[in-house]
Amino acid sequence: MTPPIQRLADDVLLLTGDAVTALRYTVRVTLAARHRNGLPIPSILAELAAATSGTGHTDIEPEPAQQDSNDMIDTMEAARMLGCSNRQARRLAPQLGGRIIAGRWLLDRTAVTEHIQGRRTA
Contact (Cβ atoms closer than 8 angstroms) between residue 97 and residue 107:
yes
Identity (one letter) of the amino acid at 62? P
In degrees rounded to 5, what are phi and psi of residue 55? -100, -5
User: Which runs of consecutive H residues, i.e. helices, occur in the chain?
Assistant: 18-36, 43-52, 75-82, 86-92, 109-121
pLDDT value at position 60?
52
Residues 6 or more apart whose CB falls under 8 angstroms from that of 107 comprise 72, 73, 74, 75, 78, 89, 93, 96, 97, 98
pLDDT value at position 15?
87
Alpha carbon distance 10, 47 (integer Å)? 21
The H or E element containing residue 54 is none
What does the pLDDT look like over 34-51, one tens digit per residue? 877 777 888 888 888 888
Q: What is the pTM of this model?
A: 0.45
pLDDT value at position 81?
93
What is the mean predicted confidence (pLDDT) over 18-43?
A: 83
What does the pLDDT look like over 51-106, one tens digit per residue? 887 654 445 544 554 445 558 899 999 999 999 999 999 999 999 888 888 788 89
Q: Give the bridge partners for 74, in sequence order.
A: 106
